[in-house]
Amino acid sequence: MSDLVHPVVRNSRHPELRGLRERVPLLSLLRRDVISNRPAWLPLALVLAAIAGVAYVDHIVVSLSLVYLYTLPITVGAIFLRKEISYGLIVACILFHYFFHYFDPPRHIHLGLRIFHDLSALFCLTVVVYVLQRYIERQESLVKTIEQQRDSLLKDVELAAEVQRLFLPSGKPAIAGLEIAGMMQPARGIGGDYYDYFPIDAHTIQIVIADVSGKGVSAALLMSATAAGMRLEANRDRNMLQQVERLNTEIGAVSDPEKYVTLLVGEIDTNKRIIHYVNCGHNPALLFRAKTGALTRMDSSCPPIGLAPEEICELASENLAAGDVLVFYTDGVTEAENRLGEEFSMERLSATVLRDSSLSAEDLMTNIYHAAADFCGDNFGDDVTILVVKCNFDRSSIPGS
């Protein structure tokens, strides 16, 4: 949207341009938008050269008057020069024409016809300059209005982004045996991705990651509703199937049929070393098993939130061991495209997780983001959210104790 900002409006914010005009007399002849371009003297030089050329041709042509040829340089001057200068050039052109045309003995013309001819030329050139100046002023006024609306919209977007950040976790939960790191990078200032975690007790935590269909403001609003609903449900009870069912009803009531939310919610118990989860159409989370070096996909078991009035979901579980790593993400990671249109893909994500699984949760999350950013040239087409959970269980402890 910044491309819509006209240089005239942009320069009006910089008082140094006024000082520059005072120091350089030439710049005082030009319109403010022309001053921002270099070289600033070129428009004036072109206009004067064109006037000189027309005056010369008008001088050497004997058979007819060429006063209306001044329309071309006057038109160009009206675009680049200040209004006062443009009107002054009209008078100068008429004087040139009068001097070269009527003081040449072979071209004596009746006085009345001469005056009518000059006045008509003066009128026509003045009309041309007036129309162009009015058009440019209207364009400048329109650009100024657009910029004001843009600034107002940007303030609203900044406020929405600030509100959206309030729904994201501000710190890391203190759950013994778990190391957690998460991030969300919107593609347009505000986005439709969401992640959070809700400690239940000293050894149990609920984790959620979600992705709203679409982008921009509408997706951010639905994301906020999802986050608020999820926090409300997390405080009511810990039955994930009932949480998803109620959330589906709530989201369906406030969104249109074309909007939906993919969501993965899981509950990790470090004493029992197990994760129970419900995947509602979300990207399959990755579970790296340190003992075997294999990756397990935590696939979806029900449709996205908000698509159907009633959802039948299944609760899935995976056992955990010391050194295991859970990677949750949104499709902004796997669908990031390079210049050839190739996607970062699940394969590249899996390779990054396998390669850096020994790192901390924070470092692994950072490496995944940088791997995708390097692949797509840091030009993500969608919001990017990554949540990593590393199991640092005491290897001497006994599950279920």
pLDDT for res 124: 80
pTM summary value: 0.65
pLDDT over 70 at 5, yes or no:
no
pLDDT for res 345: 93
Q: Which residues pair with 205 in a beta bridge?
A: 199, 268
pLDDT for res 52: 77
pLDDT for res 259: 82
Q: Which amino acid is at 207?
A: I
pLDDT for res 69: 77
Q: Which residues pair with 298 in a beta bridge?
A: 285
pLDDT for res 217: 73
Q: How far apart are CA 96 and CA 54, in angstroms?
A: 10
Q: How far apart are CA 94 and CA 247, in angstroms?
A: 78
Domains delineated in the chain: 2-159 (no CATH), 169-391 (3.60.40.10)
Q: How far apart are CA 311 and CA 251, in angstroms?
A: 13
pLDDT over 90 at 264, yes or no:
yes
Q: Which of 295, 263, 297 is nearest to 279 (CA)?
A: 263
Q: How far apart are CA 213 and CA 49, in angstroms?
A: 59
pLDDT over 70 at 10, yes or no:
no
pLDDT 10s digits, 216-234: 777 777 888 888 888 777 7
